[in-house]
Amino acid sequence: PSSDCVVAEQLCLSDSTCNATYRTLENCVLAKTRLLSLDDDSRVRCLNAELDLGNSSLLHCRCHRRMKRQEHCLRVFWTVHSSMTDGEMNLETSPYENPANEEHWKTDYNKLAALVSGKNCSQLAGDATNPCLRATHVCNLSKKCFRLRTDYASICTKGAGSEDVCDRRKCHRGLRNFFEKVPEDFTKRILFCPCQDEFCGERRRKTIVPECSFQYNTKPNCLWLLDSCLEDRICKSRLADFQQNCQPVDMSPDGCSLHNHAACLQAYMGMIGTPMTPNYVSNSSVEVSLWCTCENSGNQKEKCDQILGMFESNKCL
């Protein structure tokens, strides 16, 4: 069985029985998306179609975070796993394959800079007191990192300081491009640079141009943010990945159910550039949050607090 949902879909469509079952499921998902009420016969037909795919490679397929046809792949995954998201926050399983292990995240700064451009290493010496500025200089040594960082910075600052509002959707797309296409050796250092002073912390907090990508004029309710996320296939997928890899456990020594902080940080990075984009709350701490509030949540206050708590008080993260 193929682990790639795009390939698994092609295999299914070449088999007449699997093809018919898959088409039925697609119609079921379409009806759910359009909020159409299904009669009892249709519900049974949808349930049977999902059960019939139990022996198909589609059931176990996953997507790659940096694959070219990622949105197509995610559409296939959520078609097969559509019953997981009946308006619930717990999405049960990530559509992405298991992330790399911790070792992938351990790269020496100076070695990295030397690999990119030995002749420019001397310019990093003056940035010892500001790791975030240093991380930016390392990024600038890579044409790809520099270009994609410049792209999103340009898009996300349009309208800043005037009556115009920025194009948040384009800003988010630019951020996702940066974090998906630039090697993590660069991106994680820009986002997670360690700071000792507020000047460095402010640079870290502004990495994602929060005035456009993160903040609204007023804080929306976190439940509204969640609804916006679940309507967006990429955001829903990144949230499922975040929930799986950043699941906190009080009894665990490291506070993490999967004991893999690298996977959690990777999942956190995946949330940036979605409707549920998180960020640092200030320039003097490493605390992060969503830009939302749980005031006026009525009888859904507990659910709202749970959403906010995934970022604000998550020991694993």
Burial of 299 from C-beta contacts in 10 A (0-12 / 13-18 / 19+): exposed
Full residue range of the structural domain in which residue 81 is found: 5-85
Q: Are residues 124 and 262 in the same domain?
A: yes
Answer yes or no: do 60 and 23 share one domain.
yes
Asked which of 85, 119, 141 is the last residue of a domain, the reply is 85
pLDDT value of residue 254: 77
101 found inside a domain: no
96 located within any domain: no
Residue where one domain finishes, among candidates 50, 85, 120: 85
Give the H/E segment covering residue 288: strand 288-290
Residue 187: give its domain's CATH number.
Answer: 1.10.220.110
288-290 and 278-280 strand pairing: antiparallel
Opening angle at CA 229, ends 10 and 281, nearest 5? 135
Whole-angstrom Cα distance, residue 289 to residue 280? 6
User: Digits of tens for pLDDT over the chain (317 positions)?
Assistant: 457 899 999 998 998 888 988 898 888 888 776 666 667 787 788 888 877 877 777 888 899 888 888 999 999 998 888 765 444 555 668 888 876 543 444 444 445 444 444 434 444 445 567 899 999 999 999 999 999 999 999 999 976 555 567 899 999 999 999 999 999 889 999 999 998 889 999 999 999 999 999 998 899 999 999 999 998 999 999 999 999 999 888 777 777 877 778 889 999 999 999 999 999 999 888 899 999 999 988 899 999 999 999 999 888 88
Q: Identify whether residues 174 and 125 lie together within a single domain.
A: yes
How many CB atoms neighbour CB 24 within 10 A?
A: 18
Q: How many domains does the chain have?
A: 2
Do residue 234 and residue 139 come from a single domain?
A: yes
Q: What is the pLDDT of residue 165?
A: 78
Alpha helices by DSSP H, the chain: 5-13, 16-33, 40-52, 70-80, 109-117, 131-140, 143-157, 168-181, 184-191, 198-205, 210-213, 222-230, 233-245, 261-271, 301-312
Residue 237 is predicted with a pLDDT of 94
Q: Provide the 10 A C-beta neighbour count for residue 98.
A: 12
* Gap between the Cα atoms of 214 and 207, Å rounded: 11
Same domain, 68 and 134: no
Distance CA(94)–CA(12), nearest Å, equals 21
pLDDT at 66 (0 to 100): 81
Looking at residue 259, its pLDDT comes to 76
Q: What is the predicted pLDDT for the residue at 175? A: 96
What is the predicted pLDDT for the residue at 125? 47
At residue 158, the pLDDT reads 79
* Domain shared by 50 and 124, yes or no: no
